[in-house]
Amino acid sequence: MHEIKIAEDLSAIVLETAKRESLSKVTRVNIIFGQLVQIVPEIFEYAFRETVRDTIANDADVFIEIVPVKMKCIKCGNDFLVKENRFKCNVCFSTDLDIISGKELFIKSIEGE
């Protein structure tokens, strides 16, 4: 249900940006979610619709890109996709890792006129 709060914060950013750029209409919102954040796109989209009802973003399409969980091995530098929750380098088997992607809750851009 965290979809609701995230949708509220998103709509605030969308409307602020649209205002600053003097848009009269927002036609599309482009979002990136990491797989780890477990957002359900349908619920998110529904929640977003509710928060922008009767605003200039009322009819905006929501485009959600889900990015996979990707890590970098600190020991050997190998980049790899995490499959089945295995957070372990597939080259040297180290578990000392930095995250490259998978935790995003990003707004990429908006489109409008």
Partner 1 sequence: MEIKIMKNILDRNQNKADEVRKLLELKKVLMVNVISSPGAGKTTLLERTCEELGEKFRLGIVEGDITTDRDAQRLKKYNIPIVVINTEGGCHLDSHSISKVLGYFDLDKLDVLFVENVGNLICPSQFDLGETFKLALVSTTEGDDKPDKYPMLFREAKAVLLNKIDLVPYTNFNYNNFRSDLKKINANIPLFEVSCTRGDGLKEWFDWITEKINNFQ
The CA-CA-CA angle for residues 41, 113, 3, to 5°, reads 20
Judged on CB neighbours under 10 Å (0-12, 13-18, 19+), 44 is buried
CB 74 within 8 A of CB 98: yes
Q: Which is nearer to Zn ion, 30 or 78 (CB)?
A: 78
Q: Which residues bind to partner 1, rule: CB under 8 A?
A: 1-2, 5-6, 9-10, 13, 17, 21, 23, 31, 36-38, 84-88, 95, 103, 105-113
Continuous segment of H or E residues that includes residue 95: none
The option from Zn ion, partner 1, none interacting with 6 (CB < 5 to 8 A, set by class) reads partner 1
Task: Name the one range near Zn ion by CB under 5 A: 16-24, 43-51, 60-68, 75-83.
Answer: 75-83
d(CA 52, CA 107): 15
The option from partner 1, Zn ion, none interacting with 31 (CB < 5 to 8 A, set by class) reads partner 1
Question: Residues in the site for Zn ion, rule: CB under 5 A?
Answer: 73, 75-76, 78, 89, 91-92, 94
